[in-house]
Chains A and B, each alone.
Chain A
Amino acid sequence: MYSNQIEPVLKSAGIKIGERLRYEREGWSIEGLLMPRPDVGDPDCIVLKLSSGYNIGLCMEGAKIEKIKGEAVSIAGRGGSKESVSAPAQSSPSPHRPHIFLLSTGGTITSKVDYVTGAVHPVMDAEQLLSTYPRLAPLGPFKSVSLMRILSEDMHPLRWTTLARGVADALRDGSEGIVITHGTDTMGYSAAALSFALQNLPVPVLLTGAQRSPDRGSSDAGDNLFCAAAAARANFAGVGLCMPTEPAGGRCNLHLGTRVRKCHTSARWAFRSIGAQPFGTVDMRTGDVRLEPNSPVAARDHSRSLHMSEKFSENVHLAWVYPGLTPKTVSSWADYDGVVLAATGLGNAPVSADEPNSPRSVLPAIRELVESGVIVAIAPQTLEGRINMDVYSAGRLLHEAGVIGQGADWLPETAYAKLCWALGQGHDAALVKKLMMTPIAGDITPRSGAPDGLGQQTI
Chain B
Amino acid sequence: MEELTCGLEIHQRLAGRKLFCSCPCPSPDEAVPADAPHLVRRMSLAVGELGGVDKAAAFAVAQGREIDYTLPPAFTCLVDADEEPPHEINPQSLAAVLTLARACGSNISGEVQVMRKTILDGSAVTGFQRTSLVALGGSIPSPKGGKPIALQTICIEEESAGILPPIAGRTSFRLDRLGIPLIEIATDPVFHSAQEALEGAEAIGLFLRMLPQVMRGLGTIRQDVNISIPHGARVEIKGMQELRMLPVLIENEVTRQKALLEIISELKKRGIGFGVSEKEKKEKNAEHLWLDVTPIFAHSTCKVVSRALASGGVVLAARLAGYAGLLGRATGPNKRFGTELSDYAKMAGGVHGLIHSDEDMQKYGFAPEELANLHKALHLEKEDAFILIADARQKAEPAIVAAISRAGRLEIPGETRRANEDGTSSFMRPLAGAHRMYPETDVRPIRITEEMLANLPKLETPAARRSRLVSILGPELGEQMMGSSNFADFEKLTAGGNVDAKLAAVTLEQTIVSLRREGVAVEKISLDSISQLLEMATLGQITKAVIPEVLKELAKTTGAKPEAVIASHSWNRLSGPALAQAWAASGGDMRAFMAKNRLVVDGSDVAALMKKK
Contact among B81, B84, B445 for A40, CB-based, below 8 A? B445
Interface of A is mostly: loop
* Nearest CB of A to B150, in Å: 13
A248 and B37 form a contact (CB under 8 A): yes
A383 CA to B85 CA in the complex, in Å?
26
- Most chain A CB neighbours (cut-off 10 Å) among B40, B41, B116, B439: B439
CA distance A40 to B45 in the complex (A): 30
Q: Which stretch of B123-131, B253-261, B404-412, B512-520 is in the interface?
A: B123-131
A119-B441, A217-B118 known; A267 vs B111 contact (CB < 8 Å) = no
The answer to whether A59 and B435 have CB atoms under 8 Å apart is no
Q: Is the pair A218, B115 in contact by a Cβ cutoff of 8 Å?
A: no
Known: A212-B82, A219-B46, A250-B40. A118 touches B111 (CB 8 A): no
Closest Cβ–Cβ distance, residue A61 to chain B (whole Å): 8
Which among B41, B109, B128 is the interface contact of A57 at CB below 8 angstroms?
Answer: B109
As a 0/1 sequence over residues 37 to 49 of chain B, the CB contacts with chain A under 8 angstroms (1 = contact) are 1111111111101
A74 located at the interface, meaning its Cβ lies under 8 Å from any Cβ of chain B in the complex: no
Q: Which of B42, B44, B109, B133 counts the most A-chain CB atoms under 10 A from its CB?
A: B44
16 pairs across A/B with beta carbons < 8 Å?
A28-B136, A30-B107, A38-B445, A47-B111, A47-B113, A47-B445, A57-B110, A117-B439, A118-B116, A118-B439, A120-B441, A217-B44, A217-B46, A217-B118, A218-B127, A221-B44
Q: Please report which residues of chain B, range 238-280, place their CB below 8 angstroms from some CB of chain A when the two chains form the complex.
A: none
List chain B residues, Cβ under 8 A from A265: 84
Interface residue? A214 (CB, 8 A): yes
- Across the interface, A459 reaches (CB within 8 A) one of B40, B78, B118, B133, namely B78
Please, how many angstroms separate the alpha-carbon atoms of A142 and B240 in the complex? Answer: 50
CB distance from A258 to the nearest CB of B (A): 26
Q: Contact check, B83 vs A55: say whether CB atoms are below 8 A apart.
A: no
Residue of B nearest to A54 (CB): B133
CA distance A184 to B298 in the complex (A): 52
Which of chain B's residues 271-309 have a Cβ closer than 8 Å to chain A? none
B354 within 8 A of A: no
Taking CB atoms, residues of chain B closer than 8 Å to A59 are: 110-111
- Which positions 190-226 of chain A face chain B at CB distance < 8 Å? 211-212, 214-219, 221-223
Which B residues are in CB contact (< 8 Å) with A98?
none
Complex Cα spacing A44 to B447, Å: 10
Determine the residue in chain A with the shortest Cβ distance to B109. A56
From B120, which residue of chain A is reached at the shortest CB distance? Answer: A217
Kindly identify, within residues 146 to 197 of chain B, every residue whose CB is under 8 Å from any CB belonging to chain A: 153, 155
The residues of B that contact A115 with a CB separation of less than 8 Å are 49, 435, 438
Q: How far is the CB of A330 from chain B (nearest CB, A)?
A: 36
A222 to B125, CA, bound (A): 16
B437 CB within 8 Å of chain A:
yes
Asked if B434 is an interface residue, CB under 8 A from chain A, the answer is yes
Contact residues of A with B, CB < 8 Å? 25, 28, 30, 38, 40-42, 44-45, 47, 49-59, 112-113, 115-120, 132-133, 135, 211-212, 214-219, 221-223, 247-248, 250, 264-269, 284-285, 459
The answer to whether the Cβ of B71 comes within 8 Å of any Cβ in the partner chain is: yes
Given the known A-B contacts A221-B46, A267-B78, are A216 and B128 also in contact in the complex, defined by CB atoms under 8 Å?
Answer: yes
Q: Which of the listed residues A25, A50, A218 has the most CB atoms from chain B within 10 Å of its own CB?
A: A218
**A40-B444, A55-B115 known, 18 other contacts, Cβ within 8 Å:** A41-B447, A47-B113, A53-B436, A54-B132, A56-B113, A57-B113, A59-B111, A113-B441, A115-B435, A132-B47, A214-B46, A215-B47, A216-B116, A217-B45, A217-B120, A217-B127, A266-B78, A459-B37
A56 touches B133 (CB 8 A): yes
Chain B residue numbers with a CB within 8 Å of A117 are: 439
In the bound complex, CA of A63 to CA of B19 (Å)? 31
Whether A53 pairs with B115 at a CB distance below 8 angstroms is yes
Contacts of B113 in A (CB 8 A): 47, 54-57
Instruction: With A41-B444, A459-B71 as known contacts, state yes or no: A218 contacts B109, CB within 8 Å.
Output: no
**Bound CA–CA A354/B14 (angstroms):** 63
Q: Which residue of A lies closest to B436 (CB)?
A: A53
* CB atoms of B439 and A38 under 8 A apart: yes
A268 touches B133 (CB 8 A): no
- Write the nearest CB–CB distance from B52 to chain A, whole angstroms: 15
A12 CB → nearest B CB, Å: 20
* Pair B437/A459 contact, Cβ less than 8 Å: no
**Nearest 9 CB-CB pairings of A with B:** A217-B127, A57-B111, A118-B439, A53-B437, A53-B434, A59-B110, A267-B83, A54-B133, A55-B113
